[in-house]
Amino acid sequence: MTTPEAVTTAPESQGLSHRQILTIMSGLLLGMFLAALDQTIVSTAMRTIADKLNGQTAQAWVTTAYLVTSTVSTPLYGKLSDLYGRKPFYLFAIGAFLVGSVLCGQAHSIYELAGYRAIQGLGAGGLLSLAFAIIGDLVAPRERAKYQAYFTSVFAASSVLGPVLGGFFAGQDQILGIDGWRYIFYINLPLGALAFWTVQRHLTLPRHRTERRIDYLGAALLTTTVVPLLLVAEKGREWGWGSGLTLGMLAVSVVSLVAFLPREAKMGEDAILPLRVFRNKVFSVTSVVAFFVGMVMFGGLVLMPLYLQIVKQETPTRAGLQLTALMAGLMGSSLTVGRIMQRTGRYKIFPIFGTAIMFVGALLFSTLSLTTPIPQVMSYMVVMGIGLGLTMQMLVIAVQNALPPSDMGLSTSSVTFFRSMGGTLGAAVSLGVLFGSVRGNILDRAAEAHFPAAALHAIRTVSLDNTGNFSKLPAAARNVVLSGFADSMDTVFLVVAAACIPAFIGTFFIKEVPLRSQGGLAAQRSATDDGDLAMAETAVV
């Protein structure tokens, strides 16, 4: 076990050994596995859960609630951990995630589940961002690629186990007298307990407490800026884009943003999101790119399990296994890029190619139909996965490397915040477009098929809240309904492809700063840290 003395003194001269880093990483990887597994297991089973709770058209609330709270809490985790240390907040994140998991397993309506997923999101906001920040503290950016295989292995394991477990539990009516789908959340409990124990025991970092004000008002203003926008993206079609409620939500968001900016300027270094970081060109450009990458990732991928299970009528288990094609592409490209970056120290070219490949993948997805063969669908997933693997981690490393080491938590959580914000908006818009257009597309398909009036009435009144009932329709009517879903998904994927364009353009403006040879903690312990600060300043415009 690594002792506090070893951690606080060793880096002063030569940094942590490989064995010490692996000991610390064991706890981080378990926490990351908890969050990554939850994403894959829930997304695979979401169609079944929504059917069971009779809320298929409202399922966007479940995704949006989780993403909203994880998004708005991420900057808080980064700032507070910079001031008071990473470990207590990482343990809090695990605890909040587990409380949310218990409550999710007790949900009896789709809106109740959405509320409990919001609690889960409060924990999820810290699990991934703080793990990457801690590694940034300990490992130099150029050497970080060597440890990327461990993180990739976590996502690989979750991408395989999550769909299998999600499909299995979703496919069981009851297990020991409890609805099978509820175990999708209960399985987090033993894993979370193990992660909590491991982190408490093995994650030993230097204690550093800085007495500064906590920008609670800034956090509240940031929340009231972001949440109304996301609610409008989710419910604007239903409320009416020019309705008083929609305009009122937008007004709240604008007023909060106007109040947020001077508040952050007044708070200076105590701000939840210090405005000085936006003077750093790498930070500002990468944040914009991360926003659109998040839109593509969540906006597009939230539909793939629905396409496989609704349009292609695959079981949750089979759909989950088919989704591993995307993770295979992501892992393969991520590992390859890590090795190249470690040898060359170059990274800018990878997001450029990555966003271009993501654009191609989204266009390929927009051609999917009721009759597209599954192997062809999986090949498209590999393309999208390659693009994401070339892009995601490189953006985090670029920002961590560009800002001073003392801002490690801020830099990591901020890029995660903008990516999550884009993802939240992307998921809300995608599901809104899907369920907002699907009934019209179904009726268009029925008209093209020249259905008689009686059959057309049956199709017009079919419930979209429980897609399991589609199997009870006559074959011709079922094909019309499923084709209508496919048409709407194609429209969504075109929107996703459009989001790739500004991401691609933005990557050309990312200034490539030479990668540091020290981890964040070691760099902070340098006598003056002049070299590192000067390097960060080369990116400031």
Give residue 213's identity as a one-letter amino acid code. R
3-state secondary structure of 405: helix
Query: Which has the higher per-residue pLDDT, 88 or 344?
Result: 88
Residue holding tokens 């989710």? Answer: 234
Q: What is the pLDDT of residue 116?
A: 93
In this prediction, residue 239 has a pLDDT band, given cuts at 50, 70 and 90, of confident
Q: What is the pLDDT of residue 516?
A: 58
In this prediction, residue 155 has a pLDDT band, given cuts at 50, 70 and 90, of low
Contact 95, 292 (CB under 8 A): no
* Cα distance between residue 463 and residue 460, in whole Å: 9
This prediction's pTM: 0.74
Give residue 113's identity as a one-letter amino acid code. L
CB atoms within 10 A of CB 455: 17
Q: What is the pLDDT of residue 92?
A: 93
Q: What is the pLDDT of residue 18?
A: 65
pLDDT tens for residues 352-398? 999 999 999 999 999 999 999 999 999 999 999 899 888 887 887 88
In this prediction, residue 20 has a pLDDT band, given cuts at 50, 70 and 90, of low
Tell me which range, 265-274, 420-429, 502-511, is most confidently predicted by mean pLDDT. 502-511
Which of 201-215, 313-327, 340-354, 355-369 has the weakest average pLDDT?
Answer: 201-215
Residue 298: closest CA among 481, 540, 74, 63: 63
pLDDT tens for residues 94-145? 999 999 999 999 998 888 998 999 999 889 888 877 887 777 777 766 666 5
Give how far the C-alpha of residue 151 lies from the chain's centroid of Cα atoms, to the nearest Å.
15
Domains and CATH numbers, the chain: 4-202+211-215+272-537 (1.20.1250.20), 216-271 (no CATH)
Q: What is the pLDDT of residue 2?
A: 39
> What percentage of residues in the chain have a pLDDT greater than 70?
83
Q: What is the pLDDT of residue 93?
A: 93
The chain-wide mean pLDDT, for the chain, equals 79
* Cα distance between residue 289 and residue 399, in whole Å: 12
Q: In angstroms, how far is the first alpha carbon of the chain from the final one?
A: 45
Q: What is the pLDDT of residue 103?
A: 95
- How far CA 126 is from CA of 30, 76, 81, in Å, comes to 13, 9, 10
C-alpha angle 524/525/531, rounded to 5°? Answer: 60
Query: Which has the higher per-residue pLDDT, 141 or 312?
Result: 312
> What percentage of residues in the chain have a pLDDT greater than 90?
18
CB atoms within 10 A of CB 376: 12
Burial of 217 (0-12, 13-18, 19+ CB in 10 A): middle
CB atoms within 10 A of CB 454: 7
Which of 373-377, 397-401, 452-456 has the weakest average pLDDT?
Answer: 452-456
The two structure tokens encoding residue 334: 């991520």
In this prediction, residue 17 has a pLDDT band, given cuts at 50, 70 and 90, of low
Q: Which residues contact 135 (CB under 8 A, 6 or more apart)?
A: 25, 28, 144, 147
Residue 381: closest CA among 306, 459, 300: 300
Q: What is the pLDDT of residue 356?
A: 96
Ramachandran class of 111: left when φ > 0, alpha when ψ lies in -120 to 50, beta otherwise: alpha
Ramachandran class of 60: left when φ > 0, alpha when ψ lies in -120 to 50, beta otherwise: alpha
In this prediction, residue 400 has a pLDDT band, given cuts at 50, 70 and 90, of confident
Q: What is the pLDDT of residue 488?
A: 92
Q: What is the pLDDT of residue 160?
A: 65
The two structure tokens encoding residue 184: 């999708």
Q: What is the pLDDT of residue 305?
A: 82
Tell me which range, 144-158, 164-178, 296-310, 480-494, is most confidently predicted by mean pLDDT. 480-494
Which of 63-72, 355-364, 476-485 has the weakest average pLDDT?
Answer: 63-72
Give the pLDDT mean for 71-80: 80
In this prediction, residue 541 has a pLDDT band, given cuts at 50, 70 and 90, of very low
Residue 513: closest CA among 352, 386, 404: 404
466 phi/psi in degrees, rounded to 5: -135, 90
Give residue 78's identity as a one-letter amino acid code. G
Q: Which helix (H) or strand (E) holds 537?
A: helix 530-537
Radius of gyration in angstroms for the set of CA atoms belonging to the chain, rounded to a whole number: 23
Contact 235, 58 (CB under 8 A): no
Residue holding tokens 């409380």? Answer: 99
* Cα distance between residue 201 and residue 114, in whole Å: 33
In this prediction, residue 43 has a pLDDT band, given cuts at 50, 70 and 90, of confident
Q: What is the pLDDT of residue 454?
A: 67
Tell me which range, 36-40, 339-343, 388-392, is most confidently predicted by mean pLDDT. 388-392
84 half-sphere exposure, CB direction, 13 A CA radius: 13
Q: What is the pLDDT of residue 168?
A: 81
Give the pLDDT mean for 55-83: 78
3-state secondary structure of 30: helix
What residues does 174 pair with on adjacent strands? 179
* Cα distance between residue 31 and residue 49, in whole Å: 25
Query: Which has the higher per-residue pLDDT, 480 or 6?
Result: 480
β 174-175/178-179 pair status: antiparallel
